Amino acid sequence: MTQKKVVRKRRKRYKLVWPWKNSKLRLKRRKLKIRKEVLYLLVALFALFLLFFIPRHLQTSRLKKLGYKKDEIAAIRKENLANELIEKEYYSPFLANSIKDGTLNKDYLSLYTVISEDGSLDEQDFLLYNRLLDRGYTEEQLLNLFHSLRRYEMTPLLVFDYQIIETKYIEDCLNNRETNSKDHFVLTNNYYTHYANPIEVSDPNSIDMLVNKTYYLPDGFRPNDLETMSRVYAAEDRQLSSVAARAFEEFADAGQNVGVRFFITSSFRSYEDQVALHDMYVKSYGEEWADERSARAGYSEHQTGLTVDIAAVNEDDKENFEDTLAYQWTKSNCQDYGWIIRFPEGKEQITGYIFESWHYRYLGKELAQAVVASGLTYDEFYCLYLKPWDNEENKPSEAILAATNWQKKQAEPEESEKPE
């Protein structure tokens, strides 16, 4: 091999790659890599658009289809309610306004859908809703009731028998709406079967216990603090629990200070005495008449030692107690001394008794004032505010219970009229 050929071969074997040629290659590869990263970013952004903006657009479209406006939809998203409203197809002008103005209680979404646009809902309605739920009514029944009736037309259902077909009750209320009010409630049909579902009073020594034609006193119950009233305040041998005795003396003294005099004609009555009295009425007038005017033994408030029947003094020209000045004064002032008219006029179907202007029950000043201010019978008041829950799961939130505590609530707010 010639010397020239050997040199050429060595040059070929050790051929050098110049530096500027490597740089161009690396730059080309880097540009390709950047282009791929940009492409991936664009794909990711597009996917994000598909995953977020399109569902959001569809969600907005569905909410608009239900009836919600732009500002209401913004409030719905803020409260994270969109999916639930769409899934359950919840809409009403009242619901939309409540979401927008921030007054919505999310626990009662369905209830908002049946209230008229000019209606209202507050903690009292939510408490009543839960009490009726605890009474056995289904959500469908409750929505029907709240859609059709006013509050004072629903509270009696806490006392009445459970109504399997609530539409009949609603129809009866609507047919009598022209004559009914918070102070007068009379229906065409009867909804309370007396003594049919007896419940024993859990604490017969409590001042706020309820005794009526459902709640009865334990066998042989007799207050352990009975005392005989002075003849200044009562007929001979009339007894009351000591707390009620002191309260009646204060009540009677206040009346006498303004020229009104009254005294106790009947007070504590034992189980045995009630048996004899009721049996006498049954024999003389029949059971129906007796049950309208007298309790069966064990179901009488007189056995509590917290109840009195009263009569006016020096008003012999008045045949009925409700015609006396004593009645006018006691009716207006009784709550300030811890007493209520237990069986008021116009509420006979709820209490189960005829109007008894002379029959007063001691509850203590605060509770008596709250009952009178509410416009409810004590039967309704107890079942709404004081009754133990049959199922603890039906209790509303602590916020609602705190807002509706009868000790803080001395008067019902004015109700908005709901359409028939």
Output the DSSP codes for 284-335.
HH-HHHHHHHSPPTTS-GGGGT-EEEEEESS-TT-SSGGGSHHHHHHHHHGG
What's residue 163's pLDDT? Answer: 97
Q: Cβ of 242: how many Cβ atoms within 10 Å?
A: 13
Cβ pair 246, 306 in contact under 8 A: no
CATH topology of domain 199-378: Muramoyl-pentapeptide Carboxypeptidase; domain 2 (3.30.1380)
CA distances to 121, 204, 375, 407 from 365, in Å? 29, 19, 16, 11
Residue with tokens 């009178």: 372
Distance CA(239)–CA(224), nearest Å, equals 12
CA torsion 178-377-335-241 (nearest 10°) is 160
Distance CA(386)–CA(389), nearest Å, equals 9
Q: Which residues, in sequence order, are CB contacts of 293 under 8 Å at separation 6+?
A: 281, 353, 354
Distance CA(10)–CA(5), nearest Å, equals 9
Residues of the chain under the 50 pLDDT cut: 6-7, 14, 16-18, 20, 411-420
Task: Give the 3-state secondary structure of residue 104.
Answer: coil
What's residue 27's pLDDT? Answer: 53
Locate the domains of the chain by residue range: 22-121, 199-378
What's residue 291's pLDDT? Answer: 85
What's residue 49's pLDDT? Answer: 58
What's residue 56's pLDDT? Answer: 80
What's residue 54's pLDDT? Answer: 73
Cβ pair 285, 306 in contact under 8 A: no
Q: Is 89 left (phi over 0), alpha (psi -120 to 50) or beta?
A: left
Q: How far is CA 77 from the centre of its chain?
A: 29
Distance CA(367)–CA(228), nearest Å, equals 25
CA distances to 59, 60, 65, 95, 179 from 76, in Å? 11, 10, 14, 11, 42
Return the bridge partners of 264, or none: 234, 310
Distance CA(266)–CA(10), nearest Å, equals 137
Task: Give the 3-state secondary structure of residue 385.
Answer: helix
What's residue 57's pLDDT? Answer: 82
